[in-house]
Structure 1
Amino acid sequence: MTELAPITAISTALVVGGGIGGMAAAIDLAARGVAVTLIDLDPEWRVYGAGITITGPTLRAYQRLGMVDDIAREGAIVAGSSMFLFNGMHLRDLDEPPIEEGLPATGGIMRPILHHLMQQRIAAAGIPVRLGVTVDTLANRDGGVDVSFSDGTTGRYDVVIGADSVRSRVRELAFPHMSEAERTGQGCWRVSMKKPPTLERGEMFFGHRYMVGITRCGEDRIYLWLLTPHADGEDRLEGEALVAQMKAHLADFGGNAGWVRDTMTAEDWVNYRPLAAKIQPRPWSDGRIVLLGDAVHATTPHLASGAGIAVESALVLGEELARAESAEAALTAYEERRYERCRDVVETSVSIGAAQLAGRPGEEIGGIMGAALHRLAGPF
């Protein structure tokens, strides 16, 4: 991690939420000299078992945290992806050049492994972590925020950062003009398992009413995602019934998608959830309380950019706190830099899902995705 400009506008910060965005903010602020405390509601600090696609823009953000070598070592770095018809017929290979010199092109990693790598960075930075606790009250007062916690303790911080997921407690307490993320009508099925013998790079399957992709996440690990219209009751399936329904949705697919269907079992990590998204209305800060990540720009997986824009937001927040004379000015500048980019990701992702639900041609959907990824390659 390169040396960062110190922050003088604040000396303490509370980060609520120990996911990707929260940990990125804590790592960056601590490197700039801020005394950070990180809290997470889960007493075991767990994360979903799915993989995560690491696009070029996401790798660029992690490069700023000094973590690209970690991701390459523990995940998979590839030069591009391959496109197939849903029956397994190869259409073409897409070579994806790095968006910056010296940066890998794209790749993937298991989400629990990525979280563990970031948790190691938190520990190495000496950042105090409190688990099984969240915030009960937040009050801006005299240039700081008074906080009461769910375990009965209290504290005072120069800034409070709400990075506590799509169901943000910080958002609920401090931002009454915001609301919950809204369901899009689609659902996402995921399975994490061993790699098909012939798969070397990411794969995407087109020409079907369902969209399927496979991401290589390590030497012998992949995750497959499947997007379908949401049907009532599917989010309550478990065990063998969940696996059977996912296999049924994959019935028409060939190639490595068919291999995954035929090979997956209830012993693999299988998950389904309805998709929800929302770009929250401005302002994103109230006094010295601010939001980032899914708490304020929850998106769907269509552009594989949720983690990337969360890390970007954390980095921009640190940059603006180092640049500004006051915390309030920094939070305003952070919002100005982030709103349009995050809005683009969320609204474009939702529009891709809507196009899939409407049965729009694959070429049209691919064009929307390609244009959005080109925009994301620009500076943040």
Structure 2
Amino acid sequence: MTRESISSVQVALIVGGGIGGMAAAIALSERGVKVEIVDLDPEWRVYGAGITITGPTLRAYRRLGLLDAIKQQGAITNKTRLFKYDGTHLHDLEEPVIEEGLPATGGIMRPILHRIMQKRVKELEIPVRLGLTVTALENEGDEVAVTFSDGSNARYGLVVGSDSVASAVRDLAFPHMAPAVPTGQGCWRISIRKPPGLEYGEFYLGHENPCGITACAPDSVYMWMLTRHEERERFMDEEELYNELKRLLADFGGNAGWIRDNMTRQDWINYRPLAAVLQPKPWYNGRIVLLGDAVHATTPHLASGAGMAVESGIVLAEELAAAASAEAGLLAYQERRYPRCKDVIDSSVSVGRLQLAHGDPREHAHILEGALSRLNEPF
């Protein structure tokens, strides 16, 4: 596919080589920008269990040319099954196909998704420097003077901060922004072999701690569970994580119960408190701009955090290509992304509040169905 080239930016720095940063790097590079990536992790790793990939997220990955690899290395389906927490089947949700030839939904292990994107970055010959971040940024006309954590300096026509919810770029260049706000919930995740009877994604409802299972490969799944977050004096060790998740699953039947009965201490288990924020405008300062969790961090209720980051990387490149100047392109990017990201964050946080208050499940469904329907619209 022919991409309209970007004339207002010749060289760009991407700070943060995660999903959003790589999406921006790919989209900018394909439009003629010379891109560099720096990432703080010297091994350029990603931790985590699986990731649910909704139809809108798959659509964004198709725009990057990565859909086939995701289909080959992940798991694709067209249905989500709803159960009462004890395993009683309630209803099947048929996932709509939002574009011809596009799978409805699916899942993939996060490290595998990372490797798919890393492979494309390497194919585009985008330099990646690891164990590095930025310590100073200064707008100077149509360039940004950058000081790196190793003491070196360079100049770029654009700096993209995609360096996580704890963004160094945001701290340096956006004093009107603040850290993400805890929501009061926490998310448990476990990666485990696939239960014998699982064919589709599954949600377990009606319990104070809802959970779900997503297939990520022919033989593996991840399960998530949302609970009220309780502050602890220290992080739980592997033994405590195992015992606590097993206890939380005590009431569950179906494949959630199977996971409880078959999980071992060798299965990857993680817990983290949830936080979210839609940062106030402006999202850009001169030639410095933010995307992903650095500026629109959400919770997993709509399974759209990664999708929003990928979309933002694509939209940034599209608007820079369409605009007469970099400044006009950054403004257009901000205005195009702000309402969509706001909708995702507001809807996700609202569902979390209802869960904490043991609200009416019908209200949960109403919020989720409305938000998911809007997500299916073009971005």
Distance 1:343 1:93 in 2: 29
Deviation at 1:87, TM superposition (A): 0.0
1:333 counterpart residue number: 332
Given residue 264 of structure 2, which amino acid in structure 1 is its aligned partner? T
Aligned to 2:172: 173
Return the letter of the residue paired with 2:11.
T
Once the 2 structures are TM-superposed, how far is the Cα of residue 307 of structure 1 from its aligned partner? 0.4
CA displacement, residues 251-291 of structure 1 (integer Å, 9 cap, x when unaligned): 10000001111111221110000000000010000000000
Write the distance in 2 (CA, Å) between the matches of 1:195 and 1:4. 40
- RMSD between aligned residues: 0.9
**How does 1:103-252 map onto structure 2 within 5 Å?**
103-233=102-232, 236-252=235-251
Kindly state the Cα deviation for residue 330 of structure 1 after the two structures are TM-superposed: 0.6
Aligned AA (2:338)? Y
1:235–1:274 CA contact under 8 A, matched in 2: no
- The 5-angstrom pairing of residues 262-277 of structure 1 reads 262-277=261-276
Deviations 1:141-178 (CA, angstroms, capped at 9, x unpaired): 02100000001111100000000000000000000000
Within 1, Cα distance between the matches of 2:172 and 2:209?
38
Alpha-carbon separation, structure 1, partners of 2:213 and 2:288: 38
Counterpart for residue 62 of structure 1: 61
Report if the CA contact (8 A) 1:235-1:273 is conserved. Answer: no
Taking the aligned partners of 1:179 and 1:74, their CA distance within structure 2 comes to 38
| Residue aligning to 1:297 | 296
Matches of residues 36-51 of structure 1 in structure 2 within 5 Å?
A: 36-51=35-50
Counterpart residue number, 1:306 = 305
Counterpart of 2:94 in structure 1 is: 95
Instruction: Structure 1 unaligned segments of length 5 or more: list them.
Output: none
Distance 1:367 1:264 in 2: 34
In 1, Cα distance between the equivalents of 2:336 and 2:234?
36
Whole-Å Cα distance in 2 between the matches of residues 3 and 269 of structure 1? Answer: 42
Mapped to 1, the partners of 2:2 and 2:65 lie a distance apart of 10
Residues 318 and 192 from structure 1, CA distance in 2 versus in 1: closer, same or farther, beyond 3 angstroms? same
Measure, in 2, the Cα distance between the counterparts of 1:128 and 1:313: 21
Query: Which secondary structure does the structure 1 equivalent of 2:165 belong to?
Result: coil
Normalising by the residue count of structure 1, what TM-score does the alignment of the two structures yield?
0.99
Distance in 2 (alpha carbons) for counterparts of 1:3 and 1:197: 45
Assess if the C-alpha contact under 8 Å between 1:234 and 1:272 holds in 2.
no
Structure 1: which 4+ aligned runs deviate by more than 2 Å?
none
How far off is 1:245 after superposition?
A: 0.4
Query: TM (normalized to structure 2)?
Result: 0.99
Does the CA-based 8 Å contact 1:183-1:274 persist in structure 2?
Answer: yes
Q: Which residue of 2 aligns with 1:258?
A: 257
How far did residue 3 of structure 1 move? 2.1
**Inter-partner Cα distance in structure 2 for 1:189 and 1:234:** 18
Map of 1:80 onto structure 2:
79
Matches within 5 A, 1:351-370: 351-370=350-369
Q: Which amino acid aligns with 2:371?
A: A
CA distance in 2, matches of 1:226, 1:143: 47
Whole-Å separation in 2 of the counterparts to 1:351 and 1:210:
16
Identity %: 61
Is residue 235–residue 272 contact of structure 1 (8 Å, CA) maintained in 2? no
* Counterpart code for 2:92: D
Q: Following TM superposition, by how much is the alpha carbon of 1:134 offset from its aligned partner in structure 2, in angstroms?
A: 0.1
Which amino acid is 1:176 matched to? P
What is the rounded CA distance, in whole Å, between the counterparts of 2:193 and 2:281 in structure 1? 43
For 1:337, the aligned partner's letter is R
Please name the residue that 1:317 is paired with: 316
Q: Deviation per CA, 1:5-26, whole angstroms, max 9, x where unpaired?
A: 1111110000000000000000
Shift of the 290–178 alpha-carbon distance from structure 1 to 2, 3 Å rule, reads same
Whether the aligned pair in 2 keeps the contact of 1:12 and 1:34 (CA below 8 Å) is yes
Structure 2 unmatched runs, 5+: none
Displacement of 1:366: 1.3
Equivalent residue letter for 1:258: G
- Cα distance in 2, alignment partners of residues 155 and 54 from structure 1: 37
Report the secondary structure of 1:217's partner residue.
Answer: strand
Equivalent pairs counted in the alignment come to: 379
* Alpha carbons of structure 1 residues 235 and 82: separation in structure 2 relative to 1, 3 Å: farther
CA distance in 2, matches of 1:76, 1:263: 22
* 3-state SS of paired residue (1:265): coil
1:330 maps to amino acid: G
Q: By how many angstroms is 1:240 displaced? A: 1.1
Offset, 1:97: 2.1
Structure 1 CA distance for aligned equivalents of residues 315 and 128 of structure 2? 23
Instruction: Name the CA distance, whole Å, in 2 between partners of 1:56 and 1:206.
Output: 22
